[in-house]
Amino acid sequence: MANDQSMTKNQKLIDWVNEWAKICQPDSVYWVDGSEAEDKKLFDQMVASGMAVKLDEKKRPNSYYFQSDPSDVARVEDRTYICTPKKEDAGPTNNWADPAEMKTLMLGKYKGCMKGRTMYVIPYSMGPLGSTIAHIGIELTDSPYVVVNMRTMTRMGKAVLDVLGNGEFVPCVHTVGAPLAPGQKDKAWPCAPIEEKYITHFPVTKEIWSYGSGYGGNALLGKKCFALRIASYMAKQDGWLAEHMLILGLTNPEGKTKYIAAAFPSACGKTNLAMLIPTIPGWTVKCVGDDIAWMKYGKDGQLYAINPEAGFFGVAPFTSMETNPNAMLSCKSDTIYTNVGLTPDKDIWWDGIGVDCPEGTITWKGEKYTKGSDVQVAHPNARFTARANNCPAIDPAWEDPAGVPISAILFGGRRPSTVPLVYEARDWNHGTFMGSVVGSEVTAAAIGLKAGVRRDPFAMLPFCGYNMADYFGHWIKVGAAAPDKNKLPKIFNVNWFRKDNTGRWLWPGFGENSRVLAWVFDRCDGKAKGIETPIGLIPEAKDINVQGLKVTAEDLKELLNVDKNLWKDEVVLIKEHYARFGDRLPKELAAELEKLEKNLA
């Protein structure tokens, strides 16, 4: 079996790779060097085998198209496990399994799982190479699709091994779970049936074991598995924060820049906000990251953030030159498209892209689209994997190993009523309370839940690697440990999704959200006023610039309104949400809730 280990002298790493090669029994082991030549070779192989289609070189330079198996289209939360020795350490919001039992079960599955395939060894860094905030992982995988995606989403290859030296790494094992018998023809997208997929985390020993899926967060283990689930646990141990947050740089007309991190549940427009083009004159937004932020105090006592990723794994449908030109330009070249439509001239198409679907487009399931047919052309979770460096709005400091100083943290979700357009926390603990009750309205039809508010604390519900109540407590601790309380980021809650009682959107959203960001900026700059309300500080109406918008003075009043009765109902819902955490809920948050209730009385 070919297994050239000459790229490293790290014996622990070599032994670990050899141990897994024995278990998985691949035909060969290949150490990924991260070079362009290697990348091209892998794509050529995938095109030759029918797994990938090369897109038109003029329209989509250096870009490739993939269709997944219909059963393998998204993260699988009910197949995702946090394996801590004690169940209560995983908490009420995670699937738990005993680590030893899970390992026995999965080792049975891993035995011989890579037969007929190559095992790739991917050294990768989450964060700029050598940054003191960055961490290194090694992913073993039998999927060449994973290798090429990891090349865009992380810094990977030989350079990472050079930085690693004999140091520690997070070991990550991934297989599509589809061994090949001698002579057996491979599928275009091999994977295991849904009930055999396992996305498993062992936070205490910092290990990730993933079986049976080739898609996104299930398979690109640097992203959700490492940079959020394992990293959130590491962050708790070491006093930092690993968060499901975008990072943007906002510059005012005087040329002053402040950095903002923002957490919204999946599908609430994080990528759009991260790349927003302000509509108010003189302001600019630059993107540092669209999904994950790792934050640590710097020597100056300020909280600094890095984007641990190197690319965007963006949802394609409804991305257009109208809604997010910077995302469209980011995926113009050097991009991997998965589960979008493939047009007859070898371009891509999805709903909301801004043009009609060309006749003869191949759907994500391989059917042919004809005008008037009601086939689904792109899957709603179709993705583009694009390089951050190709984003026209990328921030000049996005790869600064020291990170960028964070002035403000935003939380938010889809809340048609109750929650105002923007309000500010009185202090860190109040901000932690705001993060702990983040929620989005759901309709019963959408995800088979009771209609109401689905709580997604800190937008971390599927991504917190330990007991969520302890995670709340960690946030409280991080605030208390601030070297200088005056330098702590200010915390805000925003809501772009308010409706009036006829169901009309009150706020236009997208680039117009810059009008709210400007108030946030001015608050951090000590300029704008905040008006006390029972829930926190809101802007004076005159400080939200609505010039040129259809938003009337009445609309703005409604957008900033804090209706005590609706908030009393909200308190009932928050109590229900908090009850899940029992007596593990930090007393500081119980006190915040009590304060809110008193303020509303």
So which residues are the catalytic ones? 268
Q: At what angle do helices 99-110 and 11-24 cross, to 10 degrees?
A: 60
Nearer to ligand OXD, 291 or 347 (CB): 291
Confirm or reject binding of residue 495 to ligand OXD (CB under 6 A).
Answer: no
Q: Which does 217 bind (CB under 5 to 8 A by kind): ligand OXD, Mn ion, none?
A: ligand OXD
Tell me the C-alpha distance between 94 and 89, whole Å. 10
Residue 327 or 556: the one with the smaller Cβ distance to ligand OXD is 327
Task: Please identify which residue in 67, 125, 266, 407 interacts with ligand OXD, judged by CB under 6 A.
Answer: 266
Residues 193-212 that bind ligand OXD (CB under 6 A): none
Compute the distance between CA of residue 29 and CA of residue 409 in angstroms, rounded to an integer.
44
Nearest approach, Cβ of 225 to ligand OXD (angstroms)?
Answer: 12
458-459-460-463 Cα dihedral, nearest 10 degrees: -160
Nearer Cβ to ligand OXD, position 459 or 488?
Answer: 459
Q: How far is the CB of 270 from ligand OXD (least distance, A)?
A: 7
Position 217 contacts ligand OXD (CB under 6 A): yes
Strand partners, 207: 202
The nearest distance, CB 217 to ligand OXD, in angstroms, is 6
H-helix segments, 165-258: 216-219, 231-238
Could you tell me the CA-to-CA distances from 577 to 230, 447, 469, 587 in Å, in that order?
24, 18, 11, 15
Which of ligand OXD, Mn ion, none lies near 123, with the C-beta cut-off 5 to 8 A by kind? none
Of 257, 277, 292, give the one whose Cα is nearest residue 513: 277
Going by C-alpha positions, the residue among 492, 485, 528 that lies closest to residue 513 is 492
| Residue numbers 54-83 binding ligand OXD by CB under 6 A | 75
Q: Is residue 16 left, alpha or beta, with left meaning phi > 0 and alpha meaning psi from -120 to 50?
A: alpha
Of 80 and 436, nearer to ligand OXD (C-beta) is 80
Q: Does 291 bind ligand OXD (CB under 6 A)?
A: yes
Residue 243 binds to ligand OXD (criterion: CB under 6 A): no
The alpha carbon of 243 is separated from its chain's Cα centroid by a whole number of angstroms, namely 9
Q: How many CA atoms lie within 13 A of 226 on its CB side?
A: 30
**What's the min distance (Å) between Cβ of 75 and ligand OXD?**
6
Q: Is 493 in the site for ligand OXD (CB under 6 A)?
A: no
Binder among 291, 512, 570, 588 for Mn ion (CB under 5 A): 291
Work out what residue 79 binds among Mn ion, ligand OXD, none; the CB cut-off runs from 5 to 8 Å by kind: none
Site for Mn ion in 188-207 (CB under 5 A): none
**362 phi, psi to nearest 5 deg:** -90, 130
Output 75 or 490, the one with its CB closest to ligand OXD: 75
Binding string, 22-61, against ligand OXD, x = CB under 6 A? ----------------------------------------
Smallest distance, Å, CB 485 to ligand OXD?
31
In angstroms, give the least distance from the CB of 371 to ligand OXD: 32
Indicate the burial class of 94 (C-beta count within 10 angstroms; 0-12, 13-18, 19 or more): buried
Cα 574 to Cα 486: distance, rounded to the nearest angstrom:
29
- Number of residues this chain uses to bind ligand OXD (CB under 6 A): 4
Residue whose CB is less far from ligand OXD, 291 or 512: 291
Measured CA to CA, the distance from residue 46 to residue 122 in angstroms comes to: 18
Shortest distance, position 247 Cβ to ligand OXD, whole Å:
14
For ligand OXD, the closer of residues 212 and 217 by Cβ is: 217
Q: Which of 65, 64, 95 is nearest to 77 (CA)?
A: 95
Pick 240 or 264: Cβ nearer ligand OXD = 264
Nearer to Mn ion, 291 or 570 (CB): 291
Of 493, 496, 509, the C-alpha closest to 425 is 493
Closest residue by Cα to residue 122 from 227, 12, 17:
17
Residue nearest to ligand OXD (CB): 266
Of these partners, ligand OXD, Mn ion, none, which one is at the site of residue 570 (CB under 5 to 8 Å by kind)? none
Which one-letter amino acid corresponds to residue 231? A
Distance of alpha carbon 292 from alpha carbon 536, whole angstroms: 27
Query: Which of positions 231-260 make contact with Mn ion (CB under 5 A)?
Result: none
Please report how close the Cβ of residue 268 comes to ligand OXD at its closest, in angstroms. Answer: 9
Query: Measured at CB, which residue is nearest to Mn ion?
Result: 291
592 binds, among Mn ion, ligand OXD, none (CB under 5 to 8 A by kind): none
* Residue in the structure block whose two tokens are 């018998």: 181
Amino acid at 197: K
User: 137: burial class by Cβ within 10 Å (0-12, 13-18, 19+)?
Assistant: buried
Q: Kindly state the smallest distance separating residue 291's Cβ from ligand OXD, in Å.
A: 5
Measured CA to CA, the distance from residue 416 to residue 453 in angstroms comes to 10
Q: Using CB under 6 A as the criterion, which residues of the chain lie in contact with ligand OXD when the complex forms? A: 75, 217, 266, 291
Please give the residue ranges that form the binding site for Mn ion (CB under 5 A): 291
